[in-house]
């Protein structure tokens, strides 16, 4: 049986998904979901039964593929709109309008908004909302993913620019294969991987990586003894 995760706000009675209620309570009523025992329990249940099983630590077969690749252009468009709708409903994510759709391009609107965001009241509210968001697992996951992509993108770009200038560049963001040791001799750079068993040797790890002159796989403990 599928549980409905929809609930009503204990204060204004508006309907929400349990994952968005905490934000709503904090944003609109300056209240905490933890103070509503049943709702808090339901949220924990949601995290345990729906959110947690998704994060098993195993790489997803969908990893690295775009929605278009997975579902086709039409279906991907549908799914993206569905996701946006869901996010809007949960009140977790905001969207930025581009071009003329962005009201911030209107100087009057902009000036008004700037006076609001500089106010003490707004800052206080903002920090409260942020505190509530920090406790939301779905938001955390989204934020972390975005953070990784951003740093990865920046490091990749700077690496390319340095390489164009003739540098030997070794990016060490964890989305690149990071060896156990980097050994340098006679102007050559070697990635050294230290493993306990031959089965752990995985040359695929460096597939497409050209900035190491060679990769050394060293089996440190052939006997299989563990000296821990
Ligand atoms: Zn409410």
d(CA 185, CA 19): 55
Look at residue 1 in the predicted model and tell me its pLDDT.
Answer: 45
Q: What is the dihedral of CA 209, 211, 214, 217, to 10 degrees?
A: -60
Look at residue 189 in the predicted model and tell me its pLDDT.
Answer: 95
pLDDT tens digit at each of 228 positions of the chain: 456 888 999 989 888 889 888 888 888 888 889 899 999 999 999 988 888 777 766 666 777 778 888 888 899 899 988 888 877 776 555 555 666 666 677 778 788 888 888 899 888 988 888 888 888 888 888 888 888 989 999 999 999 999 999 999 999 998 899 999 999 999 999 999 999 888 999 989 999 999 999 999 999 876 655 544
Ligand 1 centre to CA of 26 (Å) is: 9
Ligand 1 centre to CA of 24 (Å) is: 6
Look at residue 98 in the predicted model and tell me its pLDDT.
Answer: 62
Ligand 1 centre to CA of 27 (Å) is: 9
d(CA 64, CA 9): 38
d(CA 198, CA 14): 60
d(CA 26, CA 139): 15
> What's this model's pTM, rounded to 2 decimal places?
0.40
Q: Which of 135, 162, 194 is the last residue of a domain?
A: 135
d(CA 90, CA 61): 27
Ligand 1 centre to CA of 9 (Å) is: 5
Ligand 1 centre to CA of 142 (Å) is: 24
d(CA 195, CA 212): 19
Ligand 1 centre to CA of 7 (Å) is: 11
Q: Is residue 173 part of a domain?
A: no
Phi-psi group of 51: left, alpha or beta (phi > 0 → left; psi -120 to 50 → alpha; rest → beta): alpha
Look at residue 227 in the predicted model and tell me its pLDDT.
Answer: 46
Ligand 1 centre to CA of 10 (Å) is: 7
d(CA 78, CA 19): 22
Q: Is residue 155 part of a domain?
A: no
**Are 5 and 18 a contacting pair, CB within 8 Å?**
yes
Look at residue 228 in the predicted model and tell me its pLDDT.
Answer: 43
Q: Is residue 95 part of a domain?
A: yes
Ligand 1 centre to CA of 79 (Å) is: 28
Instruction: Compute CA 28 distance to the chain's CA centroid, rounded to the nearest angstrom.
Output: 26
Ligand 1 centre to CA of 172 (Å) is: 46
Domain count, the chain: 3
Look at residue 135 in the predicted model and tell me its pLDDT.
Answer: 83
Ligand 1 centre to CA of 60 (Å) is: 36
**Minimal CA–CA distance to 92: which of 34, 41, 133, 120?**
133
Ligand 1 centre to CA of 23 (Å) is: 10
Which of 10-20 are b and which e, b meaning 16 or more Cβ less than 10 Å from the residue's Cβ?
Answer: eeeeeebbbbb
Q: Is residue 107 part of a domain?
A: yes
Ligand 1 centre to CA of 64 (Å) is: 38
Q: Is residue 23 part of a domain?
A: yes
Q: Is residue 21 part of a domain?
A: yes
Ligand 1 centre to CA of 182 (Å) is: 56
Q: What is the DSSP string of 68-106?
A: HHHH-HHHHHHHHHHHHHHHHHHT-------GGG-GGGS
Ligand 1 centre to CA of 123 (Å) is: 21
Expressed as residue numbers, the domain containing 121 is 86-135
Q: Is residue 68 part of a domain?
A: no
Ligand 1 centre to CA of 53 (Å) is: 29
Q: Reduced to 3 states, what is the DSSP secondary structure of residue 193?
A: strand
Q: Is residue 59 part of a domain?
A: no
């Amino acid at each position: 049986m599928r549980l409905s995760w929809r609930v009503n706000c204990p204060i204004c009675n508006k309907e929400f998904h349990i994952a968005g209620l905490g934000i709503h309570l904090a944003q609109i009523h300056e209240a905490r979901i933890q103070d509503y025992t049943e709702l808090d329990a339901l949220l924990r249940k949601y995290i345990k039964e729906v959110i947690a099983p998704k994060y098993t630590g195993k790489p997803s077969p969908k990893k690295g593929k775009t929605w278009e690749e997975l579902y086709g252009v039409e279906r991907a468009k549908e799914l993206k709109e569905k996701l946006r709708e869901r996010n809007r409903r949960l009140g977790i994510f905001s969207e930025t309008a581009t071009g003329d759709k962005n009201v911030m391009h209107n100087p009057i609107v902009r000036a008004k908004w700037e006076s609001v965001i500089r106010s003490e009241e707004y800052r206080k509210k903002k920090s409260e909302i942020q505190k509530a968001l920090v406790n939301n697992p779905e938001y955390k996951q989204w934020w972390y993913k975005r953070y990784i992509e951003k740093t990865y993108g920046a490091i990749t770009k700077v690496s390319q620019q340095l390489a164009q200038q003739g540098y030997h560049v070794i990016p060490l963001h964890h989305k690149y294969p990071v060896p156990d040791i980097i050994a340098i001799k006679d102007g050559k750079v070697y990635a050294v991987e230290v493993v306990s068993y031959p089965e752990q040797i995985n040359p695929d790890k460096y597939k497409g990586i050209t900035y190491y002159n060679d990769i050394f796989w060293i089996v440190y403990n052939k006997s299989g003894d563990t000296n821990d």
